[in-house]
Chains A and B, each alone.
Chain A
Amino acid sequence: AQSVTQLDSQVPVFEEAPVELRCNYSSSVSVYLFWYVQYPNQGLQLLLKYLSGSTLVKSINGFEAEFNKSQTSFHLRKPSVHISDTAEYFCAVSPYSSASKIIFGSGTRLSIRP
């Protein structure tokens, strides 16, 4: 079985400050890794994903995440946040062997202060 732990339920930061949203997972099989984002009053959107290859993956809006197999982590970072990044962020995994399911963490609500 797989599980995903997002250590922080809420992260308040000031605009233009850096941010890191932490994610650890547990799995006995290899997994794909994802970060999804839900902006206020919108649906879930895929922010970035790691399938294979380079362990550092980036989104079009400046977020990046690094897959660390030894620490079973996939933390999300951004060097300088904007008000528009206010949203809830979900870390998720999907096992290679049964790719029909996504297993989500409980979400981290990122709030940006001006």
Chain B
Amino acid sequence: EAGVTQFPSHSVIEKGQTVTLRCDPISGHDNLYWYRRVMGKEIKFLLHFVKESKQDESGMPNNRFLAERTGGTYSTLKVQPAELEDSGVYFCASSPVGRLNTEAFFGQGTRLTVV
């Protein structure tokens, strides 16, 4: 069974540009989460989808970040326009229905560098 897959693994963009990160959860997992780790600090929650609906987006830092999950399968996280402080590692995780965070599987992360 394939795990959580994230694309790209690395991205280097200039300040002001747009970047889109993609996450493919484990097949059949209705719960999908985005987390971010900035500059070696703690990993912080961004948002949670249940199927295609945003269940909790309290961790989204500002309106430059837009997450979507069309059809309840893969998800994208767009940063537009990117700022220097957006640099970090973005993790995606998924879990089965009814399991929420007691059985969350994480991807390898996307390392975003804004220069």
- Indicate whether A102 sits within 8 Å of B42 (C-beta atoms), given known contacts A43-B4, A44-B91, A45-B106: no
A104 CA / B56 CA spacing, docked (Å): 17
Contact across chains for B107 and A100 when beta carbons are under 8 A apart = no
B41 to chain A: which residues have CB within 8 Å?
Answer: 106
Contact across chains for B104 and A102 when beta carbons are under 8 A apart = yes
Residues 36-72 of chain A: 1 if any B CB is under 8 Å from the residue's CB, otherwise 0? Answer: 1000001111100101000000000000000000000
Interface size class of A (residues with CB under 8 A): 20 to 34
Contact across chains for B101 and A101 when beta carbons are under 8 A apart = yes
Contact across chains for A107 and B40 when beta carbons are under 8 A apart = yes
A58 CA / B48 CA spacing, docked (Å): 29
Contact across chains for B42 and A100 when beta carbons are under 8 A apart = no
Closest-by-CB residue of A relative to B106 is A44
A32 to chain B: which residues have CB within 8 Å?
Answer: 101-102
Tell yes or no: A90 within 8 A of B by CB.
yes
Contact across chains for B91 and A43 when beta carbons are under 8 A apart = yes
CB distance from B112 to the nearest CB of A (A): 15
A98 to chain B: which residues have CB within 8 Å?
Answer: 56
A92 CA / B4 CA spacing, docked (Å): 20
Q: List 28 A-B contacts (CB under 8 A).
A: A32-B101, A32-B102, A36-B106, A42-B108, A43-B4, A43-B106, A43-B107, A44-B93, A44-B106, A44-B109, A45-B106, A49-B102, A51-B102, A90-B43, A92-B43, A94-B100, A99-B100, A99-B101, A99-B102, A100-B33, A100-B55, A100-B100, A101-B48, A101-B101, A102-B45, A103-B45, A104-B42, A107-B43
